[in-house]
Amino acid sequence: MIQQSTLTFSQLYETDETAWLDAMVERIQQERWDELDYSHLGEYLSDRARRDRREVKSRLTTLLAHVLKWVHQPDHRSRSWRGTILEQQQELSDLVSVGVLRNHAETVLTDAYAKAVERAAVETGLAVETFPSECPYVLEQLLSPNFPAD
């Protein structure tokens, strides 16, 4: 384990991000504002926001691809597909319950759908033209526990 006291915050940020976060949390809780590593805090928060947005879009794309497979290949439905749909619904529901990430999910739905169509076409062997050209679903519908119907 790296000794925090022997490293500057800049070095700690580069070598052990978790220890650096712990150090920042400690200083915030103690209201030691002048000791915060503001430049790296800004970088970290910006990276975290990008990561969250990327995760929402990735999960939305995966959910849509499995929904498309479910709808367009009813004879191939499996518990695995249903499990993936449920997992993505649950994880997305947690991520987009309110706020910025919900708005982001609604904003990227069209692009996620286009990627999902490509993925579903490759995985099913169906032509891209088999699938609707525009996303036929809204976010609320995709996150509904009873969607898609059997």
Q: Exposed (0-12), middle (13-18) or buried (19+): which is 127, by Cβ within 10 Å?
A: exposed
The region, left, alpha or beta by phi > 0 then psi within -120 to 50, assigned to residue 99 is left
Angle (CA) 75-77-83 rounded to 5° is 175
**This model's pTM is above 0.85:** no
pLDDT digits (tens, 9 = 90+) for 21-31: 999 999 999 99
pLDDT digits (tens, 9 = 90+) for 68-79: 999 999 999 999
pLDDT digits (tens, 9 = 90+) for 92-150: 999 998 789 999 999 999 999 999 999 999 999 999 999 999 999 999 999 998 899 87
Residue type, 22: D
Decide: 82 and 148 in contact? Cβ < 8 Å: no
Judge whether residue 5 has pLDDT over 80: no
